[in-house]
Structure 1
Amino acid sequence: MYVCVVVCMHIYHNNYVCCVDVAKQNAQIQNLKVDIYPNPPEFGKNITMELSGTIMEKINSGRVYGEAQFNNLPPLRETYDLCYVLSYIGVLCPLAAGEAQYSVSKEFPPHVIPGNYTFTGTATDQMNNELFCLKGGCVITG
């Protein structure tokens, strides 16, 4: 769910913001950047997401928290193990401190239900320090 929501927010109107100041001194991931291509995507074809940033301290484990809402329906809330999520893109824990860049390609769904989508996604490390937080939304029209 989390990756799908991030893709949604980036593609449609680039409508997302950081929940926290990722440049603050104690942020665990700084200079976080998300690139999606092709932009706009083609339904039923592959889409690639590239993530990059600076990991300030070694990350051994953590959690990913996601909340997504479609129109006015109750939100869907999920929690995942960070290392399990990263394994989907071939990244294994621990993550070393330093510059990092990851890429994943997946098929963009051939059909997406039109409507308003909103989301919040955060991740924390093994010490419960926030790694990043993104909020955003998009409108998909038929």
Structure 2
Amino acid sequence: MASTKFLVTLLFSLCILSPFTSAESTNFEYCNKRANYDVKVSGIDITPYPVSGGKKTTFSISANTGKSLTGGKLVIDVNYLFFHVHHEAIDLCKETSCPASGDFVISHSQELPGFTPPGSYTLTMKMVDEKNKELSCISFGFSIGFIAESQALAASS
């Protein structure tokens, strides 16, 4: 009987904590639904999810192109509610191997400040080539966990 209680408690704990440590496959939208972008995004994974302030988070974007990408940049803008809170431009070849063609993954890791407010955020990412031609533009939402979630994540590590 004691081993059954332990097993039930363990399974319950795993069900409760697994959302805090797992990857999240995220839905996205193209910025211009009518555009025929050279780079097509097929998926986005965020690890861990939900994102926690003070913890390293990795955004992995799976994409495909028929062109050979030899350089360019990612322009990232983040909004919290209706407020613009972050902007950065990153060398594309630091986030994926260049030259890139066919299927490739852009992987960007970042640690958010520990005091980052919890809630829903929207990230817009534009990919441009060396001549500043827009290759793709997507937007997606993500959540930053509350303090209790961050503590649960730390306790499970």
Q: What is the TM-score of this pair, normalised by structure 1?
A: 0.57
1:135 is aligned, of 123, 132, 139, to 139
Shift of 1:124: 1.3
AA aligned opposite 1:111: F
Pick closer, same or farther for the CA change 1:77–1:110 going to 2, 3 Å. Answer: closer
Contact 2:42 2:64 survives alignment (8 Å): yes
> How many angstroms apart in 1 are the aligned matches of 2:88 and 2:50?
29
Partner of 1:19: 31
| Maintained 8 Å contact 2:30/2:138 | yes
Q: What is the match of residue 120 of structure 1?
A: 124
Question: What is the alpha-carbon distance in structure 2 between the residues aligned to residue 108 and residue 38 of structure 1?
Answer: 12
Alignment of 1:95 with 2:105, yes or no, is: no
Deviation at 1:54, TM superposition (A): 1.0
Q: Which has the higher helix share?
A: 2
State the TM-score, normalized to the length of structure 2: 0.53
- Does residue 56 (structure 1) correspond to residue 85 (structure 2)? The answer is no
Q: Tell which structure's C-alpha radius of gyration is larger.
A: 2
Contact 2:65 2:103 (C-alpha < 8 Å) held by counterparts: yes
Instruction: Give unpaired runs (5+ residues) of structure 1.
Output: 1-9
1:33 and 2:37 matched: no
CA distance in 2, matches of 1:41, 1:77: 16
1:78 Cα shift? 4.2
- Count of aligned pairs: 124
Residue type of the alignment partner of 2:89: Y
Query: Aligned partner of 1:20: which letter?
Result: N
| Consecutive unaligned residues in structure 2, runs of 5 or more | 1-22, 147-157
Q: Is the 8 A contact 2:51 2:143 kept in 1?
A: no
Aligned counterparts of 2:53 and 2:86: Cα–Cα separation in 1: 26
Taking CA–CA contacts closer than 8 Å with sequence separation of 6 or more, which of the two structures ends up with the larger relative contact order? 1
The answer on whether the counterparts of 1:71 and 1:117 sit within 8 Å (CA) in structure 2 is yes
